[in-house]
């Protein structure tokens, strides 16, 4: 753990993850906060670094092995949950998550391979190079309180969802009659229709939001706002 602290700027550490009381304290403290986190093997400093829209939910994902990292989960099984800590590296607005995660991944991947659990070198390939102007960032920030979309946007969503439901002409259409959550590109907009990010799949989007790919699919098809803050679509608006 000393090596990790010497390498990364640690804001907060949540330990004793094997204890229900400690988990509840961490979940409550982190509920609704977005930022960059690490799951660290205390004796060696070996770590997994990620980002989440909801850090309180993300810690439970790793504890319950729900949309977690295979390498990390193997280590937890081997050493026991009591040997790991959930560490907050930085709090940031949702639109900056992957950019800031990439910053910390660059540091992590400069270390010897045996000190990391992450498989992927990049936070999300489709996000690489994405930037926002000060004006668009302001729009993203101020849009968090609204709840409506224009008639034009709703019409586009309706047409796109009809296409997804039929799917026969879609090259990604599978034998089972469903579009794979791995294959569908996802666009995340603020509720004022400002593009926040583009993801290569529902799985990648789910990782960023800290939810399951099934939840992402449900919001794409329903056209409803995710937690009153985001619109998820399978097409550019």
Q: Could you list the pLDDT tens digit for every one of the 237 residues in the chain?
A: 888 988 999 999 999 999 999 989 999 999 989 999 999 999 999 999 999 989 998 998 888 877 788 889 989 999 999 999 999 999 999 889 989 999 999 999 999 999 999 988 888 633 333 344 444 444 444 444 444 445 555 555 455 444 444 444 443 344 444 445 555 788 888 777 777 777 888 888 887 777 888 888 888 888 888 887 788 888 877
- State the Cα–Cα distance between residues 153 and 211, nearest whole angstrom: 25
Domain(s) labelled CATH 3.40.1440.10 in the chain stretch across 2-123
- State the Cα–Cα distance between residues 236 and 186, nearest whole angstrom: 9
pLDDT at 130: 39
* Residues 108 and 118 sit within 8 Å (Cβ to Cβ): yes
pTM over cut 0.85: no
pLDDT at 43: 95
pLDDT at 167: 43
Q: Is 12 helix (H, G, I), strand (E, B) or coil?
A: strand
Give Cα separations from 197 to 19, 38, 71, 232 (angstroms): 36, 23, 27, 10
Place of tokens 């960059």: 36
* Residues 56 and 29 sit within 8 Å (Cβ to Cβ): yes
- State the Cα–Cα distance between residues 57 and 30, nearest whole angstrom: 8
Tokens of residue 46, six digits? 């070996």
Tokens of residue 64, six digits? 């319950």
Alpha helices in 69-150 (DSSP H): 70-79, 97-108, 134-142
Handedness of CA 112, 115, 117, 121 (dihedral sign): negative
Nearest to 184 by CA among 166, 155, 164, 168: 164
Give Cα separations from 102 to 5, 125, 128 (angstroms): 18, 10, 9
CA dihedral angle for residue 168, residue 124, residue 89, residue 118, rounded to 10 degrees = 100
- State the Cα–Cα distance between residues 20 and 86, nearest whole angstrom: 14
For the 2-123 domain, the top CATH level (class) is alpha beta
């Amino acid at each position: 753990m000393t090596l990790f602290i010497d390498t990364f700027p640690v804001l907060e550490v949540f330990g004793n993850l094997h204890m229900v009381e400690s988990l509840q304290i961490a979940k409550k403290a982190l509920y609704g906060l977005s930022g960059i986190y690490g799951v660290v093997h205390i004796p060696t400093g070996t770590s997994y670094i990620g980002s989440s829209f909801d850090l309180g939910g993300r810690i439970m994902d790793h504890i319950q092995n729900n949309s977690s990292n295979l390498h990390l989960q193997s280590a937890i099984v081997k050493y026991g949950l009591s040997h790991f800590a959930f560490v907050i590296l930085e709090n940031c607005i949702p639109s900056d998550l992957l950019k800031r995660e990439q910053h910390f991944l660059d540091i992590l991947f400069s270390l010897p391979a045996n000190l990391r659990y992450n498989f992927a070198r990049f936070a999300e390939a489709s996000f690489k190079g994405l930037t926002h102007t000060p004006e668009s960032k302001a729009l993203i920030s101020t849009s968090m309180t609204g709840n409506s979309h224009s008639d034009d946007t709703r019409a586009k969503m309706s047409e796109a969802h009809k296409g997804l439901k039929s799917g026969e002409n879609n090259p990604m259409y599978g034998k089972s009659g469903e579009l794979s959550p791995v294959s569908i590109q996802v666009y995340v907009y603020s509720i004022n229709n400002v593009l926040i990010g583009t993801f290569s799949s529902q799985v990648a989007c789910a990782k960023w939001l800290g939810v399951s790919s099934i939840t992402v699919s449900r919001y794409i098809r329903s056209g409803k706002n995710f937690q009153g803050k985001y619109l998820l679509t399978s097409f550019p608006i």
